[in-house]
Amino acid sequence: MPSRPARLLSAPRRSMAAVLATTLLALPLIAPPAYAQATPPVDTLPLEDIQTFAEVFERIKRAYVEEVDDSTLLRNAMRGMLSELDPHSAYLDRSEFQSLRESTEGEFGGIGIEVGLEDGRLTVITPIDDTPASRAGLQARDVILEIDGTPTEGLSLQESVTLMRGESGSRIQLTILRGGEEAPLDMTLTREVIRTESVRSEMLEPGYGYLRVSQFQSRTGEQVNAAIRRMERDGALQGLVLDLRNNPGGILQAAVAVADAFLESGLVVYTEGRLPDAQMRFSASRETAAPDVPLVVLINGGSASAAEIVAGALQDQRRGVIMGTESFGKGSVQQVMPLGNGEGLKLTTALYYTPNGRSIQALGIEPDVAVVRGRLEVTESSRQLREADLEGHLRSRGEPRLSTEMAERLREDYQLGEALNLLKALNVLERRDR
């Protein structure tokens, strides 16, 4: 009876809850959209649960201390549906949808921080390199208790992110709790327009390169290949450190492109989900920027998602040595679906697996060589007198192997120093095998 729903919608005395319940009951009779045609048959919606939902809706409308419009209640209901699925599914309003697009494209306003919910608490996954967050000293696993005096407890992830976004030049105060500290810390930061360069490269010393990937954006694969070519202009690479520490992830295809820079063939990653289009397999191509360069990959607890795809692929294919500490363990794939009203839906649709069939979800990548973060300290009593310390010693005719600045950096970053040492050892062993 097609005319009946029309009369219900136009009846002036019909409550919104009743209309909502009638509409929900009619949903299984409506043809699904094209992308959902492959879904298995859905059971009829449970009448009792729909009636309870409508009753709750009506009671909020009548009795809540402040008046709430229907649109707000319905959007809150949709947010609730998604937030209870997993920490990464969310309903995105216009501003949130735009913010997600900006961060993927590499430019947004804020403090430069990747956050997630851990045990219901807003937790830092990683600060992005060279941003107010990283310069202020925010660290992975810091818990954000307040944003400008607003407690984060009870806020959704999107609400928290919205609070941290703002005009460039405006100030924001964060109250954080750090593991090992008894009292919370207050930090005041100044927001900036965050333009993130996802790839940075340099030579640690002649023949040994350093490649830092801070996140995976649409052009990260191209930038990695260009960086490798630049480093090779100074001579053949004898070893390369790929630094994925505190990399929160990003675009799946960018992760595949980065892994492909070091792999000539074989599977990189595959995904499995309920829908046919969630079943995907990605393999390396023959065009490879650095197929034979000895490789050490650095990871830590801030390495997540796409960073774990790269580390897992290189580990399974025995292409490089994974060094550092256990990664974050985010092995799910989110699909961003635009809605007709300009808003969006971010929905977890699949899990990804390494070439050997390992699921990273809630497990992470175990490093081949465990090296914790630290600083190399040399005490004065342990330092021996050397020729270079003698007054009037003859100068070397060769270039120093390490600049003073680089030597200090390797003392500060113990993991990086150990990665360089391992690359040198691998080269020694390779020369002996020849």
Q: Which residues pair with 242 in a beta bridge?
A: 211, 297
Residue type for position 119: D
- Compute the distance between CA of residue 214 and CA of residue 244 in angstroms, rounded to an integer: 7
Kindly list the distances between the CA atom of residue 419 and the CA atoms of 204, 284, 318, 414, in Å, as whole numbers in the listed order. 11, 25, 16, 9
- Compute the distance between CA of residue 411 and CA of residue 422 in angstroms, rounded to an integer: 15
Helix 252-260, helix 306-316: angle, nearest 10 = 30
**Active-site residue, from 129, 142, 243, 316:** 316
**Active-site residue, from 198, 305, 327, 332:** 305
- Compute the distance between CA of residue 36 and CA of residue 271 in angstroms, rounded to an integer: 18
Give buried/exposed letters for 277-299 (b at 16+ CB in 10 A, else e): eeeeebebeeebbbeebbbbbbb
Residue type for position 120: G
Nearest CA among 109, 137, 113 for reference residue 248: 113
**Active-site residue, from 330, 332, 346, 413:** 330
With a CB cutoff of 8 Å and minimum separation 6, the contacts of 29 are none
Nearest CA among 301, 359, 330, 344 for reference residue 87: 330
Is 305 one of the catalytic residues? yes
Is 292 one of the catalytic residues? no
Check if the beta carbon of residue 337 is closer than 8 Å to that of residue 89: no
Structure tokens given for 169: 């030049």
Among left, alpha and beta (phi > 0; psi -120 to 50; other), residue 64 is beta
The DSSP line for 135-150 is: HHT--TT-EEEEETTE
- Compute the distance between CA of residue 4 and CA of residue 11 in angstroms, rounded to an integer: 11
Burial (CB < 10 A; 0-12, 13-18, 19+), residue 21, is: buried
Is 330 one of the catalytic residues? yes
Q: Any idea which residues carry the catalytic annotation?
A: 305, 316, 330
